[in-house]
Chain A
Amino acid sequence: MSSAAGARLPGRIVLFCVFGFLYLPIAVLVLLSFNEAGLPTTWSGFSTKWYVALAGNSEILGAAWNTLVVAVAATLISTVLGTLLAIGMETRRRKSTGLEALAFAPMVIPDIVLAVALLTFFSRLNLTLGLHTIILSHVIFDLAFVCSIVRARLKHFDYSIVEASRDLGASGWTTFWRVTFPVLLPAIIAGALLAFTLSVDEFIIAFFTAGAGRSSITLPIQIYSMIRFGITPEINALATIVMGVSALALLISQWVNKEQMS
């Protein structure tokens, strides 16, 4: 331990540089969103006018509403499916390689491939594209992440408390609601929050499965088209809000899931 004390300084320098690299671009963005002039060239004073401008932009508000609809719906469905899948996988007698691969695939498959596959699939079925197709698609990877988080909790789960509950006279159903579920709840909430964040931020699959027309544009799609036109102070403000929401959801997720771990 203490022979490593001398090695602390280089470690600190490394961490300082890496965290600088990770957070400097974000910090600049956040700072500029409060810049009166809005442009990176000069700082002309603190202002929240770009946030006010956002609030009056009906396109952005519409996209934000769509994003919320997609994220909430996809989160609800994927939390239920992902949790059940996690319990199912962890209580199997034997590990099934096929099942493992199926639950792992959504996390590693390149988004572009999944996106074009879904586009092809939905058009083959002559399904009208819209918010519902985005929701159907988002559930795929959302449920995989929920499943992996709940499984992590199940791995540390002491199954003897379930047996104790049965031994004390509770039925399987009662045992689930009074013993298993409360123990898993923090992981389920953490998984749901992560799924929500992923859905709010997801761009590629939404872009391919949204179809034409403004009615199904989500925030990331809106941001993408704005970015392609260049830098505007509104994007800075919007970006700051979106990142703030994600960071908050993750902080809560982390906090909830840690509470009972120790």
Chain B
Amino acid sequence: MSFQASRPNLLAAPAVAWLLVFMVLPCLLILSYAFFERGTWGGVVYDFTLENFQRVVDPLYAKIFLNSARIAGLVTLIAILIAYPAAYAINRAPKHRQAMLLFFAVLPFWSNYLIRTYAWIVLLNREGLLNNLLRMAGYDGEPLSLLYSEGAVIVGLVYNYLPFVILAIYSTLSRLNPELMEASRDLGGGPVSTFLRVTLPLTMSGVAAGGVFVFVLSIGNFVTPALLGGGRFQMIGNVVYDQFLTANDWPFGAALGMVLIATMIILLFLQGRATAHASGERAGAPS
């Protein structure tokens, strides 16, 4: 480690400074705003209050929050149920093809989020492809209003975050020593018990990592609800958006943002604990 060993802190300093100034400081700032009062004409009055957090648990907002959590939960569940078989199939494909399959599974994730959401507007609207297909299949009733519904929001979120879940699960699956599954078969376990008792427990960390990611990004999302859920459809991200850009109640928006951050930190912590609990996963990797 003689490699520039004397200067690691110096090398890290510019980036650390950048992150401290433009990430940590702003986050601390809105954390503090969450404890101040809102001015009569917008703006902030620097008087300490807990009122913003009381409003968070107000039934009106608590309902939105719980509804967001329910939708995010559903999205997470569906994404995992689709991603696991996909990751499993990629891991079972011939070695030389796996990198390519994985690349193309993840590629959409790096393309524009708005465009990927917009693509579903094109598919789901009343004049859209799905309604057209239905009509061609002989359906001649009113076009279905697939768009602007909770279902559309869920499909849009699953679609957008699925690649990441595939990646997370694949990365644990591919590190798993295949001899563990063979050992289970050798000891008399059929395919189902082998999956439930060996493969699944040992890949839970990937499932958890992907799941937490999807949940956190879904619950705080405002673009997808705004575009696919229609104007009145509100998730917690939309409320934050409104507080900052229309209602001009920054302290309350800040408090909601803090709740989102807290949710994220708790989930990441739980995920870390779960991963540590399912320890030895690394020991199961081929040496």
**Contact surface of A with B, Cβ cutoff 8 Å:** 4, 7-8, 10-12, 14-15, 18-19, 21-23, 25-26, 28-29, 32, 39-41, 80-82, 84-85, 87-89, 91-93, 99, 102-103, 105-106, 108-114, 116-121, 124, 136-137, 139-140, 143, 147, 159, 162-163, 166, 172, 176, 180, 194, 197-198, 200-201, 203-204, 208, 220, 223-224, 227-228, 231, 235-236, 239, 242-243, 246-247, 250, 254, 258
B202 at the interface (CB under 8 A from A): no
A113-B123 in contact (CB<8A):
no
Instruction: Determine the chain A residues whose CB is within 8 A of the CB of B166 once the complex forms.
Output: 18
Collect the chain B residues with CB atoms within 8 Å of residue A88's CB.
7-13, 15
Q: In the complex, A106→B18 CA distance in Å?
A: 12
Q: In the assembly, what is the distance between CA of A111 and CA of B89, in Å? A: 32
Q: Which residues of A contact B132 (CB under 8 A)?
A: 40-41
**Does B217 lie at the interface of the complex (its beta carbon under 8 Å from any beta carbon of A)?**
yes
**Cross-chain pairs A/B with CB under 8 angstroms, 24 sampled:** A8-B92, A11-B89, A15-B90, A18-B85, A19-B104, A22-B162, A25-B119, A84-B14, A88-B9, A88-B12, A89-B8, A91-B4, A93-B8, A102-B16, A108-B216, A108-B264, A109-B264, A112-B221, A112-B222, A116-B244, A117-B27, A117-B29, A117-B257, A208-B245
User: Are the CB atoms of A223 and B114 closer together than 8 Å?
Assistant: yes
* Known A116-B30, A201-B112: A84·B1 in contact at CB below 8 Å: no
Question: With an 8 A cutoff between CB atoms, is B198 at the interface?
Answer: no
Q: Which of B11, B115, B128 has the most CB of A within 10 A?
A: B115
How many A-B contacts if CB must be within 8 Å? 255
Binding site for A on B (CB under 8 A): 1-5, 7-16, 18-20, 22-27, 29-30, 33, 82, 85-86, 88-90, 92-93, 99, 101, 103-105, 107-108, 110-123, 125, 127-129, 132, 159, 162-163, 166, 213, 216-217, 219-223, 226-227, 237, 240-241, 244-245, 250, 253-254, 257, 260-261, 264, 268
Is chain B's interface secondary structure helix, strand, loop, or mixed overall?
Answer: helix
Q: How many Å lie between the Cα of A114 and that of B241 in the bound state?
A: 12
